[in-house]
Amino acid sequence: MRLRRRTLAGLAGVAAFHRPALAQAPGLRDLARIRGMTFGTAVRSEIMERDPALVALTAREAAIVVGEWEGKWDVLQPERGRFDFEPLRAVIRHAQAANQRIRGHTLLWHVAMPPWLAPALAEGPAQARAVLETHITTVLAETRAAIRDWDVVNEVIAVPPGSDNPDPTDGDLRPTPWLQALGPGYIETALRIARQADPTLRLTLNEFDLYADTRGANTKRQRLLRVVRGLLDRNCPLDAIGIQGHLQMRDPFRPEIFTAFVRSLHELGLAVLITEMDVREPDQLAPTLEARDAAVAEYATRFLQAAIDGGARTFLTWGLTDRDSWLVTDPGVARRDGQTHRGHPYDAELRPKALRAALARLFS
């Protein structure tokens, strides 16, 4: 009975998705591939399990996916020494069924830490290193066949003073339990452990707030370049920089600044990926949905074109639709005026918006 209901829901969902215009048009994954680019999205396994329409949409549009929560510490190692790979395996299953590549996110972050972790890190540097090594080697042994690119470290660059994010500091590295436990060498330690555990894995450092023409973003770009140059000078393995791309339309954007930044990363011999793009609309909204969607598409297009001009070739959005996004559920970023941000290529009913058309144009 349960199976039958799911099947019917699935057919309805697939039918709704296969509207004639879109059904005939090539998916973003195919358009991007023709240009030598890769388009993809974050997915959430629990939604994929219950929403065949989203599964079909994701299969059609994305060449690469990343689990939005399934690869984080609190999920993978909820208790010390007990690993749970089931949610991540669900991401992998869906991706493999759709012939998609998979990114891993993330082997080290100061958020989504299980409750036991901070006390364990505080046991001293030797214990902290052992905990990190056990996690990375166990996870990479499990995902080796399926995931060839991991965000080894996430959001390690310090947030400049004056920013609206917590913990502003003058150092280059963000103060976290990892920094506290292991000192400034912890990024290098994590990267070296990952390289040793899986020598051909692409090792990525993933970071946010790097795009805008603001004092904060400018400081952060400089900090990131300093940290990355330091790692490379010490022959630390590092292959790619992930620029998250959580765009905020209230922030001024100058393409030439961002293009130059992406170029300078390429000049260091690193790949550059846009890993988590979505768009927050400004406080003052345009009067119609159409005008709002056009403005979102225009802002994102300027960002993406600047990334392309700097040599970036891989682009992931943080979800395909407005429906289940953290832009709706996270109280820190959700709108307070009763509206929801329309910052994804598809709306909450899985209808394509101007941003989807803009992506297709960028990839054509």
Q: Which residues would be at the binding site for ligand 9MR (CB under 6 A)? A: 68-69, 72, 111-112, 154, 208, 244, 276, 326
Shortest distance, position 324 Cβ to ligand 9MR, whole Å: 9
Residue number with CB closer to ligand 9MR (326 or 346) = 326
Cis geometry, peptide bond prior to residue 106 (ω within 30 degrees of 0): yes
Residue number with CB closer to ligand 9MR (69 or 85) = 69
Shortest distance, position 35 Cβ to ligand 9MR, whole Å: 27
Residue number with CB closer to ligand 9MR (129 or 174) = 174
Paired strand residues for 241? 205, 272
Shortest distance, position 310 Cβ to ligand 9MR, whole Å: 21
Residue number with CB closer to ligand 9MR (59 or 333) = 333
CB 86 within 8 A of CB 45: no
Residue number with CB closer to ligand 9MR (178 or 326) = 326
According to the 3-state scheme, what is the secondary structure of 251-313?
CCCCHHHHHHHHHHHHHCCCEEEEEEEEEECCCCCCCCHHHHHHHHHHHHHHHHHHHHHCCCC
Shortest distance, position 67 Cβ to ligand 9MR, whole Å: 10
Cα 356 to its chain centre, rounded Å, is 18
The single-letter DSSP state of residue 247 is: E
Shortest distance, position 334 Cβ to ligand 9MR, whole Å: 12
> How many other CB atoms sit within 10 Å of the CB of residue 15?
11
Tokens encoding 126: 């030797």
CB 177 within 8 A of CB 121: yes
The single-letter DSSP state of residue 321 is: B
Shortest distance, position 168 Cβ to ligand 9MR, whole Å: 18
Q: Which residue is nearest to ligand 9MR (CB)?
A: 326
Q: Which residues of 183-219 are buried (b: 16+ CB within 10 A; e: fewer)?
A: eeebbbbbbbbbbebbeebbbbbbbbbbbbebebbeb
Shortest distance, position 278 Cβ to ligand 9MR, whole Å: 8
Residue number with CB closer to ligand 9MR (207 or 363) = 207
Shortest distance, position 208 Cβ to ligand 9MR, whole Å: 6
First-to-last alpha carbon distance for the chain, in angstroms, is: 45
How far apart, in whole angstroms, are the C-alpha atoms of residue 330 and residue 323? 13
Residue number with CB closer to ligand 9MR (38 or 325) = 325
How far apart, in whole angstroms, are the C-alpha atoms of residue 30 and residue 99? 12
Residue number with CB closer to ligand 9MR (47 or 286) = 47
